Amino acid sequence: MLNDTTSAQKAQTLAEALPYIKRFFDKTIVIKYGGNAMTDPHLKECFASDVVLLKLVGMNPVVVHGGGPQINELLDRLGKKGEFIQGMRVTDEETMDIVEMVLGGQVNKEIVNLINRNGGKAVGLTGQDGNFIHAHKLMIPNKDKPDEMIDIGQVGEISGIDPSLIQFLDSGDFIPVIAPIGVGTEGETYNINADVVAGKLAEILGAEKLILLTNTPGVLDKEGNLLTGLTPKQIDDLVADGTLSGGMLPKISSALDAARSGVKSVHIIDGRVEHALLLEVLTDEGVGTLIKAK
């Protein structure tokens, strides 16, 4: 039996969440679930129940997941070493097969299952389903030789996203769970960084919020302190002086593109904190880093 104080505290918490529930009612919230945040089984359950709760109170959560560490694990087992250039995986044909198995199979289905066990109705997709993420080959500029481009294999850049399938699922009781794989004009598949897919999808869907869950408290400065808000100018400086590196590079540029394209709030938050998602959406507690459009 609950004592009065506990009941009163619970009622107070619910009352405090109500304005946020009203504000985001029927609004789309794109949530990027990074592979690095998917570690602890308890945290995974918290994540899934948070997503289900957001759907139950009338919001439209759309989950885009990564799985970089999970791909590395299988590559390791097969005696192949993962290689990244500017935060993007060098993806030869064999690696692409593994990317499809891990992202489209293992990780996607695990998240679908987690959400469904927590009372939601998740539908797992890759960009091949309904041909909804169109992509072409990405070439990246060589930092040392400005007029040269680097070929990193079957890595994709998004040419377009058809939002109709996701909107259809949103308007029903379904929660889309998307693996970042795109399709080219000839039906060829591309490995796309999950932050890039999440950012572009948030833009195309006219999302209210984009939340990127990762394994750091947010964006950190050189001394390791959390930066709670970042403008484009501050981001440029942090990239230029090397404070931002690796996987944070595609994350920050996707976050900034989304903010500039009209997504009202864009956050990079710590997925290792219990119920980080609910704290972000339903409370005033600033968690992580807010990316500002200007």
Ligand X SMILES: Nc1ncnc2c1ncn2[C@@H]1O[C@H](COP(=O)(O)OP(=O)(O)O)[C@@H](O)[C@H]1O
Positions touching ligand X (CB under 6 A) are 34-37, 66, 68, 195, 214-216, 219-220, 243-248, 251
Residue 271 labeled ligand binder: no
Per partner kind, with CB cut-offs from 5 to 8 A, the member of ligand X2W, ligand X, none near residue 245 is ligand X
Per partner kind, with CB cut-offs from 5 to 8 A, the member of ligand X2W, ligand X, none near residue 248 is ligand X
Nearer to ligand X2W, 81 or 294 (CB): 81
Close Cβ partners of 12 (under 8 Å, ≥ 6 residues apart): none
Per partner kind, with CB cut-offs from 5 to 8 A, the member of ligand X, ligand X2W, none near residue 289 is none
Per partner kind, with CB cut-offs from 5 to 8 A, the member of ligand X, ligand X2W, none near residue 201 is none
Find the shortest distance in angstroms from Cβ 212 to ligand X. 7
Q: Which residues bind ligand X2W (CB under 6 A)?
A: 34-36, 66-68, 71, 88-89, 99, 155, 180, 191-194, 247
Packing angle between helix 232-240 and helix 248-260, nearest 10 degrees? 160
E strand intervals along 74-225: 84-85, 88-89, 121-126, 133-141, 149-161, 174-179, 181-183, 189-191, 209-214, 219-220
Per partner kind, with CB cut-offs from 5 to 8 A, the member of ligand X, ligand X2W, none near residue 155 is ligand X2W
Find the shortest distance in angstroms from Cβ 100 to ligand X2W. 10
Are 261 and 9 contacting, i.e. CB atoms less than 8 angstroms apart? no
Q: What are 62's two structure tokens? A: 């759309």
Are 175 and 122 contacting, i.e. CB atoms less than 8 angstroms apart? yes
Nearer to ligand X, 49 or 216 (CB): 216
Find the shortest distance in angstroms from Cβ 23 to ligand X2W. 28
CA distances for 217 relative to 38, 189, 250, angstroms: 15, 33, 17
Distance, CA of 140 to CA of 57 (rounded, Å) = 42
Binding residues for substrate: 67-68, 89, 191
